């Protein structure tokens, strides 16, 4: 469904992001919105708990944006989108990679009046894999607007110097502060671009593009489903495991083998036609965007 033009490629290379008006068909939105409700209420369809459950209805702070990571393991409607082959191929085309696997998904729900998510560069957290290149597809499940806390990018910021992670992700006091400091170091006046799309649209961004999102000052929810994708041939770098991998993703490392396990990081698309065979079995009928 996603056709990229030469212009799209050029814009992505120049800006570090690309806005897309339609990434998934609108008919899929109700099932995905239901999946969000299930996940944040602790209903895990497959019986598997997502890797990171940062918010639950019964216990979560209502002022915070809600986040779950690797919802695909718990819910097949989420999996059908983030493990989609066409989406994987599109990411590969944009990044210039010969294959793509999922690094992590993010299920993010920002109800009205909830707080911001701090600006950051995704690849800054990934020194535990090599190469640590990432490309992210961000899909809006609601119409998005600047005052609704949509994702925002700084044009061209993937070309600034690579920085170490800095500041809080959840509800920082000043969500743009680390980005402004990086802009000053780069000698640049940052140009902020908001992703304002209808539900089903979204964006792609480069792993080093500075991005974040403000508080939701509108009366509508802002839900997004995010695929963080990496190259299919990445390997673990155990020497860097003290730099932020954490207990979850390091646990998936195989003994005596730095290659990533496809059970936890499936391959979505490779130019030689390979795709992790168990994906289709896992998805059942839910395999297309």
Ligand X SMILES: O=C(O)CCC(=O)C(=O)O
**Smallest separation, CB 125 to ligand X (Å):** 10
Pick one of 78, 79, 124, 151: the residue that binds ligand X (CB under 6 A). Answer: 151
Residue 17 or 236 having the CB closest to ligand X: 17
Residue nearest to ligand X (CB): 213
138 binds ligand X (CB under 6 A): yes
The SS3 assignment for 205 reads strand
User: What is the C-alpha to C-alpha distance for residues 134 and 123, in angstroms, rounded to an integer?
Assistant: 6
137 and 23 in contact (C-beta within 8 Å)?
yes
Residue 77 or 224 having the CB closest to ligand X: 224
Residue 136 or 232 having the CB closest to ligand X: 136
The SS3 assignment for 7 reads helix
**Smallest separation, CB 12 to ligand X (Å):** 15
141 and 36 in contact (C-beta within 8 Å)?
yes
Residue 106 or 127 having the CB closest to ligand X: 106
Q: Interface mask (CB under 6 A) for ligand X, residues 92-131, using x and -?
A: --------------x-x--------x----x---------
Pick one of 84, 213, 232, 276: the residue that binds ligand X (CB under 6 A). Answer: 213
DSSP 95-156: HT-SEEEEEEEEEEEE-TT---EEEE-GGGG-TTEES---EEEEEESS---GGGT-EEEETT
How many CA atoms does the CB half-sphere of 287 hold within 13 Å? 13
Residue entry with tokens 């509108």: 218
Residue 117 or 234 having the CB closest to ligand X: 117
* Residues in touch with ligand X (CB under 6 A): 106, 108, 117, 122, 136, 138, 151, 211, 213, 224, 226
């Amino acid at each position: 469904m996603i056709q990229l033009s030469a212009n799209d490629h050029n814009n992505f290379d120049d800006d570090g992001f690309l806005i897309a008006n339609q990434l998934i068909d609108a008919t899929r939105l109700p099932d995905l919105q239901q999946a969000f409700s299930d996940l944040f209420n602790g209903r895990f369809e497959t019986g598997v708990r997502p890797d990171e459950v940062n918010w639950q209805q019964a216990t979560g702070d209502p002022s915070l944006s809600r986040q779950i990571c690797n919802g695909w393991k718990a819910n097949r409607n989420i999996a059908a989108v983030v493990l989609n082959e066409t989406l994987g191929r599109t990411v590969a085309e944009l990044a210039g990679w010969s294959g793509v696997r999922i690094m992590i998904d993010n299920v993010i729900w920002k109800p009205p009046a909830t707080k911001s998510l701090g600006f950051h560069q995704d690849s800054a957290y990934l020194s535990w894999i090599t190469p640590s290149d990432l490309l992210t597809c961000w899909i809006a499940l609601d119409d998005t607007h600047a005052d609704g806390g949509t994702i925002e990018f700084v044009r061209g910021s993937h070309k600034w110097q690579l920085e170490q992670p800095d500041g809080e992700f959840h509800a920082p006091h000043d969500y743009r502060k680390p980005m402004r400091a990086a802009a000053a170091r780069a000698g640049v006046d940052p140009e902020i671009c908001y992703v304002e799309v209808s539900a089903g649209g979204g964006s792609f961004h480069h792993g080093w593009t500075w991005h974040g999102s403000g508080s939701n000052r509108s009366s509508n929810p802002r839900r997004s489903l995010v695929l963080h994708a990496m190259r299919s041939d990445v390997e673990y770098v155990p020497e860097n495991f003290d730099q932020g991998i954490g207990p979850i993703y390091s646990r998936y490392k195989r003994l005596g083998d730095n290659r990533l396990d496809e059970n936890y990081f499936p391959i979505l698309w490779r130019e030689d036609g390979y795709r992790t065979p168990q994906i289709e079995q896992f998805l059942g009928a839910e395999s297309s965007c």
